[in-house]
Chain A
């Protein structure tokens, strides 16, 4: 029994060593963190007046003065952290003056050097700081890091920094291309990142829609939802029957926001489209845009086999004032399919239940009363017919 016990003893010694090392690291780290917090607190107190000055004179002419005296590297970093947090809060002239101050204090230069550090996370730190300081000089360096970097989440930190630093559309385009290369379908996040740029990204989105690559097209289409561009209609019309389903749906969503596009021919086309998503988008848009003229088409769409299309159609009818409500009641009376009747009935009852809650808007109140009155009349007539048929 010597061997297992001896082995156990060796293991015990080994574990003791590793545990002692871990324990030491933990304590050192904790103490360093506590000390760093204290240093930061002391530094912020020391420069409290200076931060008051920055905030009070932020909108006056001339450049803001850097803090008096020589700053240690630690102090520089703490002041930079504070300035970056102020940059997030301020806009306009005040922000520009803070950006100038960062440059005057040599903070941009300091982080440009750190952009070449050997440790990845120092480079990411520097890129983040440079992004916050909108340093245009950092663009080539950040693009280089993105090209060399891993395809992990740090790519998005770099991309956001690049979006802030970029002064030319081509830099943003390159950034988008570098992000989509990993094919992770993160298109909404890319558009959100581009939203941090000072440039007008509308033309970029339009040009992306014209690309061959499906991912770039998707980024462009998502971007165009909040950046309407002149001349985008012809491109969208070309893509409406694209091979990629996601592209078709995104195009339909964009087109269905534009009342000019919703001619009877196009509405009919979309409501009979093979993709249920597109039928659903169209049905929803009619209600949102208040297009009462398409009530007959919606009445037909309520019978759609897909639940969401049917649901959006009934909801849209309910949105189309009393006229749409009448159509719902008509469905209830005429329709034989119990599923469709139930769907219409649910929406009618939901509309009537609105009376349980106070309605403050006068117009809404009137519409509700009209709907209620119509329903009462309609149900009375229907009951009479039922009784007559029973007799």
Chain B
């Protein structure tokens, strides 16, 4: 029994080691691309481009469910983007709060019973479209509750432009974010089907009039840990995956898509979370099956700031939802596409990686850890085994954290102070003491919820950006 526990535990540790090695390998692609990203970011004349008639017009879709606290700031921020031609379509997904009324009141919108909606995708019943000619590029759709995917589909039906951008209602786009993504699109419009933006944590930042005016690291424990997680995932991971055209997800918080292809693949899939991963999988599948040249790109200098959950309850709910979404996508598409040469890098690299190291991750990690603990409990003289393997895991994770911070320092330098780097490094280590393990358990619980057919969105409470701003201001004052 002892031997079995040791062997299994050792297997689990090497499993983690292989995950980290693959992650490091992908990160090397990020390092390879980073200079190009930096130079393009600095030398592309965004100010001139944002007035160019050759930039493609974009429809920004903002699904909103119970967002009364943040929606006004967000819409105001979206209406002031540096972009030549775009429209903002807010979709009220049957909110139970005052989301609809605050928008109608703030922008003096009027119900239009006869707005032109091209019904290319099926959605819940649209109760009406609101509009005010004083805000000619703002539309508000009021519809029955059908989830985020359904809202995006309703927005597509009303949209007037060939590109669509999906943006979470609790997120703030940087003024140049859209034009930066458009530049990436314009470099290869024929083949680009989707482009993801970089998502960063806004907790702790100073926000004025819907714009992040001073970048600071979060003050609270959980948002700080998520800040590191996002940095690792977006800079370390997604730049590399995009470099080999193996990106499996474009964050639902901010991404731009070719509308014609989104319609061709049937729009967003409702009923389950993980619609952001689902649409990308469907796009890969469609393009590869039809032998069309394509790319799913990532634009790390197009930044969207989002509110990170700051309580364990809400974070747990979010992570369980991600777990459910991932499992559903792998069962629905992954198992048919994995290891089939027809699906190229996506089928041969991305999906095996995702299934083995993301979907099945909780099982190997939990059982492996339990096996090693069991082994040590049977003979305490072998406690050093647990220590060595634990150190291996932490050190490799730390190394990946350093890699992500290096990428950040080379290309973006959004956190200018030396103590920011030190703080981030400290949290990179800290996350291995409890946070990562709880994350694995949440993912596992997400799988259980999936098996029990729990498709709810879960708890998600918002904080007003103004409240966030006040909190930050007072903390800045305390800091002196």
Binding site for B on A (CB under 8 A): 1, 4-5, 8-9, 11-12, 15-16, 18-19, 22-23, 25-27, 29-31, 33-34, 37, 88, 121, 124-125, 128, 152-154, 156-157, 160, 184-186, 188-189, 191-192, 195-196, 222, 225-226, 307-308, 311, 345-350, 353-354, 356-357
Q: Quick one: given A192-B52, A192-B54, A356-B110, are A184 and B40 in contact (CB under 8 Å)?
A: no
Size category, B interface: 35 or more
Which B residues touch A311, using CB under 8 A?
Answer: 116, 118
Residue from A8, A18, A124, A160 with most neighbouring chain B CB atoms (10 Å): A8
Check A185–B45 contact: CB distance below 8 A. no
* Distance of A354 Cα from B402 Cα, bound (Å): 58
Taking a contact as CB atoms under 8 Å apart, the answer to whether A185 and B39 are in contact is no
| B54 and A30 contact, CB distance less than 8 A | no
Contact assessment for A22 and B402 in the assembled complex, using a CB-CB cutoff below 8 Å: yes
- Nearest CB of B to A9, in Å: 7
**In contact, B52 and A15 (Cβ under 8 angstroms):** no
Taking a contact as CB atoms closer than 8 A, the residue among A19, A125, A186 that contacts B187 in the complex is A186
Q: Which 4 A-B pairs have the closest CB atoms?
A: A185-B190, A349-B114, A188-B54, A22-B402
Given A22-B406, A184-B190, do A15 and B54 touch, yes or no (CB 8 Å)? no
Checking A30, A152, A222, A354 against B418 with a beta-carbon cut-off of 8 angstroms, the contacting residue is A30
Nearest CB to that of B418 among chain A residues?
A30
In the complex, the answer to whether B399 meets A19 with C-beta atoms within 8 Å is yes
Closest to A311 in B: B116
A307 and B118 contact, CB distance less than 8 A: yes
CA distance A12 to B17 in the complex (A): 11
Within 8 Å by CB of B10, from A4, A308, A353, lies: A4
CB contacts (< 8 Å) of B403 on chain A: these are 22
Bound CA–CA A18/B10 (angstroms)? 23
What's the least CB distance linking A155 to chain B, in Å? 9
B113 CB within 8 Å of chain A: yes
Report if B405 contacts A (CB, 8 A). yes
- A386: min CB distance to chain B, Å: 21
Chain A: which residue is nearest B131 at the CB level? A353
How many Å from the CB of A7 to the closest CB on chain B?
9
Q: Provide the bound-state CA to CA distance between A188 and B114, in Å.
A: 35
B102 in the interface, Cβ–Cβ < 8 Å?
no
Cβ of A31: which chain B residues have Cβ within 8 Å of it? 418
Question: Which of chain B's residues have a CB closer than 8 A to the CB of A12?
Answer: 388, 391-392, 395
Q: Which residues of B contact A128 (CB under 8 A)?
A: 39, 43
Q: Describe B's contact surface by its main secondary structure.
A: helix
Chain B residues whose CB sits within 8 angstroms of the CB of A349 once the complex forms? 113-114
B421 CB contacts on chain A under 8 angstroms: 26-27, 30
Q: Are B188 and A186 in contact (CB under 8 A)?
A: yes
A-B contact pairs, 13 of them (CB 8 A): A1-B6, A23-B402, A26-B406, A152-B36, A154-B36, A156-B187, A157-B43, A184-B187, A186-B187, A189-B54, A189-B183, A192-B55, A345-B114
CA–CA, A152 and B297, complex, Å: 13
Given A1-B6, A8-B388, A184-B191, A26 contacting B186 (CB threshold 8 A):
no
Determine which of B40, B187, B191, B418 lies in contact with A34 in the assembled complex, contact meaning CB atoms within 8 Å. B418
Smallest beta-carbon distance A345→chain B, Å: 7
Bound CA span A185–B261, Å: 17
Check if B13 is an interface residue, CB within 8 A of chain A.
Answer: yes
Pairwise interchain contact A15-B187, C-beta atoms closer than 8 A: no
- Interface pair A153/B40, CB less than 8 Å apart: yes
Chain B neighbourhood of A11, CB < 8 A: 17, 392
Given A185-B189, A346-B116, A153-B399 contact (CB < 8 Å):
no
Shortest distance from the beta carbon of A92 to any chain B beta carbon, whole Å: 17
Q: Tell me the chain B residues, 401-420 only, with Cβ under 8 Å from chain A.
A: 402-403, 405-406, 409-410, 413, 416, 418
B44 partner residues in chain A, CB cutoff 8 A: 156-157
Does the CB pair A184–B188 fall under 8 Å? yes
Residues of A contacting B331 with CB < 8 Å? none
Which parts of B33-64 form the interface with A (CB within 8 Å)? 35-36, 39-40, 43-45, 47-49, 52-56
Task: Write the chain A residue with the least CB distance to B403.
Answer: A22
Using a CB-CB cutoff of 8 Å, which residues 8-24 of chain B contact chain A?
10, 13-14, 17
